[in-house]
Amino acid sequence: MSAGNRTVLVILDGRKSAERRPADQTVFAALDHFSVAWEVLDGGDYMGAIPEFIAPRALYIIAHDGAAEWLKPEVAQQIADAVADGAGLVSFDRRPQEWPQALREMLPGEIGETRTGVLRFSAPSFISSGHEEGEELELGEEIAAVTLPGDGRWQPLVTDAEGRAVIASAAAGAGRVVAFGTGESIYREGVYGHVRGIDGLVWRAIVWAAAKPFPMRCVPPYVTARMDDCNGTYGAFAYVDVMNRFGIGPNLGLFIDEMGPSDWAAAKRLYDAGGADFSMHAFRDDFYMARPNYKPWAVSPDKPDLSDGGKQTLYEGLSMDHHTGADFSDEGIRRNFSRMDDAFAEHGITHSRVLNAHFGEVGWRAVPLFLERGVDMPCNNSALGQLYSNQPVWRPRPYGIRGLSGRHGLIIDRCPQHPRMTFVSISMSHVGKTHMRTDILSGRVPFLDESETPKLDEAAQAGTENIKLGLDALAYGLLFTHEERINAISPEDWETVVTGIVRGLDGWEWQGGLREDVGVICKRLFDSALVRANLTDGGLRCELVGDTYGPSPLTIWENEGDGCTRRVVDVEPINGYAELTV
């Protein structure tokens, strides 16, 4: 039997390893990240499958080039009949001429071939949502693609530079079909890749084509924020208020020794109101105080002058020597944790579950002490136990993205050396030439002469683009900067940036969230899975496994005209196994 009539069956051929292997990181990694219930039908498996395993399903995916050639005519007919009755088909196979007749007849009669290094978006649709008509993408290398005629039945979604459709959608009886004439190749790192603005084409194609209602355990469209190097600025964290107006609650990585009484009082106010969560970043790092070109917009009157006017600056971390990468001694680390505990406790604040270390540098001796305090979600785009430089190649889930500077992009994965630590991190370092692409104010405000004047429109645009990349990836959007750059502009300038970011999200579905809460939801989804889904007379029955230790979201998609809408329901804590009917 199948896992249910609201699950996905993925067709592949394990014997064609050269074609199948890239799909591991493009298609299969995406299905895990999108958290659909899916099973496979593998041409390399000699045991076969009974008809009840093939259908009914919500969706069929042909995962790679040549994946469907092996299908027996009766199996192909069963899939074609299921699609005609309301299931969906999404194909990444660029060799449809090899398909059995029943499947081949679902595509246009005239199919061409092209090579292209440019993709151009066609008229807006649900699947291409977030992209303007005529928007072009330049690929890292030219690809072979199948072209599909725009014959009235087929709607072009993406074309090549000559206007020939290479991704298109169509109705098929009561079902829906999406053909990626590009194959899965556009999601390979050297071609274009994941978390660069085109993931939405895949998950929206899946959602659009699948029979409804269709369940997913995906991350809701949260927008949140994180600020590093925090001491409150001249305004005692007043800059957080404008984000809170839009429901966005940042994680603030604190330099706790640099904070004055007004800063701590404001932190307590935000903590009690749920407007921010707070993490230990370091004790201090006031290097810029010694720079003659350091010109803050203002200075808080009760901010401690630790550097004696810039004469004695210091970086003082919690657990690791910033120059050698060696852990501090056990005694030194315990003493530092005691200092941290006392500061948080004195001001009535509990440390966030988010581990936000300066430079992401966390000594191994510190990990058990963080876990004792319930701090279990590192948010930096760096591995534990080493300096920020020379990051290891550890290919974290979901996609193992690594930027030109060696920093990783989206990470929702367990620490390989310490499974009680779960990384929940998003960075745009894989998109830009350096990791500073993530910081929306970097190079755009007069901090240490990075810019003569504030470039507010540029900063707002950068923030909007970063957030959209996260939402398009079915992850979460993050507004990020280092607080010393906020300290270099006026409150009005910062408000202009934030309101500009929000205005840039017009037309996008999103909801504000507290960074710690968003991390907890990501972890609960990562620690569980939707394994079966079946539409019955009594409703949509879902079976889930894992351990969540709290409520978690289940997204239900429905058709609405030619588009789709989502409904999110809460799942009670899962302790090993749970059933839910909605």
- Burial zone of 254 (CB within 10 Å; 0-12 exposed, 13-18 middle, 19+ buried): buried
The predicted structure's pLDDT at residue 405: 84
Please check whether residue 266 is in contact with residue 238, taking contact to mean a CB–CB distance below 8 angstroms.
yes
Please check whether residue 118 is in contact with residue 139, taking contact to mean a CB–CB distance below 8 angstroms.
yes
- Measured CA to CA, the distance from residue 427 to residue 276 in angstroms comes to 20
Tell me the two tokens of residue 328: 């501090």
- The reported pTM is 0.97
- Measured CA to CA, the distance from residue 404 to residue 197 in angstroms comes to 18
Omega of the bond prior to 56 within 30 degrees of 0, cis?
yes
Find how far residue 469's CA is from the centre of its chain: 8
334-388: per-residue pLDDT in tens? 999 999 999 999 999 999 999 999 999 999 999 999 999 999 999 998 999 999 9
The predicted structure's pLDDT at residue 381: 87
Q: Nearest to residue 465, comparing CAs of 67, 97, 197, 173?
A: 197
Output b/e per residue, 416-439; b: 16+ Cβ within 10 A: eebeebbbbbbbbbbbbeebbbbb
| DSSP secondary structure letters along 460-501 | HHHHHHHHHHHHHTTS-EEEEEEHHHHTTS-HHHHHHHHHHH
- Measured CA to CA, the distance from residue 358 to residue 73 in angstroms comes to 60
- The C-alpha torsion from 265 through 266 and 267 to 270, rounded to 10°, is 130
Longest dimension (CA), the chain: 82
Q: Cβ contacts of residue 308 below 8 Å, gap of 6+? A: none
The predicted structure's pLDDT at residue 151: 74
Residues of the chain with pLDDT under 70: 1
- Measured CA to CA, the distance from residue 212 to residue 558 in angstroms comes to 5
Residue type, 351: H
- Measured CA to CA, the distance from residue 131 to residue 129 in angstroms comes to 6
Residue type, 567: R
